[in-house]
Amino acid sequence: MNFAIGLIVALGSILGGYAALGGHLIVIWQPWEFVIIFGSALGTFVIANQTKTIKDTAKAIGEAVLDRNPKNRDYLDVLGVLHALMRELRTKSRAEAEAHVDAPEESPIFQAFPQILSKKELTAFICDYCRLIIIGNARTHEIEALMDEELHTIAKDKLKPYQALSAVAEALPALGIVAAVLGVIKAMGALDQSPEVLGHLIGAALVGTFAGIFISYGVVTPLGAKIKSTREKQQRVYIIVKQTLLAFMNGAMPQIAVEHGRKTIPSSERPTIDDVESETAGAKAA
C-alpha cells in the first residue's frame, strides 16, 4: 500500500508540476520510447540472472508491494511450535520426539501451526536443528556456528532479487540515453521538416532521458530497497528459531528459551509475554 501511495505522489508531483508550468502531458506519452527502455532493461535483466532468480524477483516484488512482512501472528506461531517441540524433546523418548522432525507434515505439533508448515524452508530449518539436538553429540557453540553460516547463506539467496533490481536501476539512466539518442537520430533525418515537426521529434527523444532517470531513481531503486527491507524482516523468524534453540541447548526451560527468542523481535512488533504465555499454554492444552 505504501509503495502505491508513494508512486502516486511522485508521479502526481512530477506530472502536475509539468502541467502547471504549461507543459502538455500528451507530449510525455511516447510509447516507443518506453518500449525501448523497458524492453532493453528486461532483456539485460534476463541475461544477467538465472531462471530461479527471475522467478524469485517476481515473487519478491509482490511481497514488497503487498507489504508481506511478518505479523504478530507469525511470531506467535513460530514461538508456539518451538515451545511444543522443546517440551517433546524434554519429556518424551528419542523415538517419539524424532517422529515430529522426520515427518513434520504428519506431526500433530506442526499440524496445529499450518502457517509454519506451509513455509517449507522454515520448517526444514527447525527440524534440522531439532534433529541435531536429539542426536545429542553436537556442542552449543558448534550448532551456533552452523546456524550462522546457514543464515548467511539464506540471506544471500533471499537478497538476490534486490541485487538484480539494483543492477537494472543502475543501467536504466543509460538505457534512457540510448532511447534518446535513437530519437535524435530520427530527428536528424527530418531536418528538412518544419520547426514544429522537428521540435516535436526532439521533445519525444528527450522523453527517453526523462523516463530512464525517473524509472531508475523513482521506481526501481525504491522498489529494490523495499524488497531488501521485506526480505530482511522475513528472516527474523530464523533468528527467533536460532536464539530459542540455543537457549534450550544451554539448559533453559522451554518457556525461558521462548523468551530468548521473543527478545530478538523489534520492540515495536514484539508480542507481549502474556500473549506468548497464552499461545504456549493453548498449545500445551491441545
pLDDT interval class at 285 (50, 70, 90):
very low
The pTM of the full predicted model, rounded to 2 decimals, is 0.87
Q: What is the mean pLDDT of residues 236-263?
A: 94
pLDDT of residue 22: 87
Residue 50 CB burial class (10 angstroms; 0-12, 13-18, ≥19): exposed
pLDDT of residue 220: 95
Could you tell me which residues come within 8 angstroms of residue 143 by beta carbon, excluding any fewer than 6 positions away?
A: 129, 132, 133, 245, 246, 249
For 108, the grid coordinates are 500433530
Q: What is the mean pLDDT of residues 72-82?
A: 94
Least confident residue range of 111-120, 128-137, 244-253: 128-137
Compute the distance between CA of residue 116 and CA of residue 74 in angstroms, rounded to an integer: 8
Q: What is the mean pLDDT of residues 143-148?
A: 94
